[in-house]
Amino acid sequence: MDGSGLVCYDVPMKGEYGMQFAENLMALRRSRGWSQEDLGDRLGVSRQTVSKWETGQTTPELEKLIELAAVFDLSIDELVGREAAGERSGPPPVGYSPATDCVGCRRRVYYEYISPRRLWGLPLVHVRLGGGDRPVRGIIAVGNVAVGLVSLGGVGVGLISLAGVGVGVLALGAVGLGAVSIGGVAIGLCAAGGVAVGQWLAVGGVAASSQLATGGVVLSKQLAIGRVAAGHIAVGVETDGFLTFGPGSDPVEVWRAVKARFPRMWEVARYFLRLKF
């Protein structure tokens, strides 16, 4: 232990200990039913790298050794065979925590599951909960950072993404970016949220769109419908535009004006006009 209270290891990895580590690693991996590729996915290395560790051709660098110990919930001494599992000597040192037991150690993974079935080279399901900041990748991915066709997590990227920050064709989150985006702040072709910016449609407290924007305060190049509305055609209590309509206007007349100016405006605009009147 150095003066900072952090644990420092001097791990001999040649000769007897090197072979012990290789044997331990293979036994630990097999006991969990993981393939070399599964273990590699957890560590961000290739299957070939894991194979070389298990055959004693190479040994991991300190950072990967720390991650291995965290994955198997062992100390580094136990992992390399210097100490039997469950026989750690003495009380934990000052500054030690189950999540960070060494300099540069990542948070421990409290639960992780990688399905053995794969599709397009990705696990069908990959779940990592409780720690780790490396991306979770799978057809269905759940984790702090999740990448997959369906992703759930703090940050999600996928075809369907439900996350604090979501990016996808359908994105739902505090911040959403996608073809269809729903969130506190939403950006997309169609966006709905507290603040919404959409190419075709924006619905929100504050909304902006090139075609149709509706909500509290709205701005649109074509049709704006809101309490405060600014657009080529503006409908609302307070309006600014080439054509403006107040609360008492006939929605049928407004729709005729919209169709005359923007013949390709989609029928969904009529629905929002009816809501306003």
* Tens of pLDDT, residues 53-77: 888 888 888 888 888 887 887 888 8
Q: What are the pLDDT digits (tens) for 4-16?
A: 443 444 444 555 5
Query: Do 35 and 116 touch, CB atoms closer than 8 A?
Result: yes
Whole-number pLDDT of residue 110: 60
Average pLDDT of the residues in 20-48: 85
Asked if pLDDT for residue 238 goes beyond 70, the answer is yes
The single-letter code of the amino acid at 260 is: A
Q: Which residues are 243's β-sheet partners?
A: 233
Query: Do 193 and 202 touch, CB atoms closer than 8 A?
Result: no
Asked if pLDDT for residue 249 goes beyond 60, the answer is yes
Residue with tokens 């421990």: 108
Q: How far apart (Å, rounded) are the C-alpha atoms in residues 170 and 182?
A: 8
Q: How far apart (Å, rounded) are the C-alpha atoms in residues 245 and 127?
A: 52
Q: What are the pLDDT digits (tens) for 206-232?
A: 999 999 999 999 999 999 999 999 999
Whole-number pLDDT of residue 126: 84
Average pLDDT of the residues in 193-214: 94
Q: How far apart (Å, rounded) are the C-alpha atoms in residues 8 and 18?
A: 19
| Residue with more model confidence, 169 or 268 | 169
Whole-number pLDDT of residue 12: 44
- What average pLDDT does the structure give for the chain? 80
Whole-number pLDDT of residue 83: 58
Asked if pLDDT for residue 144 goes beyond 90, the answer is no
Task: Give this prediction's pTM.
Answer: 0.60
Q: What are the pLDDT digits (tens) for 67-116?
A: 888 788 788 888 877 655 444 444 443 333 343 344 344 445 467 777 77
Q: Please report, rounded to a whole number, the percentage of residues in the chain having pLDDT higher than 90.
A: 33
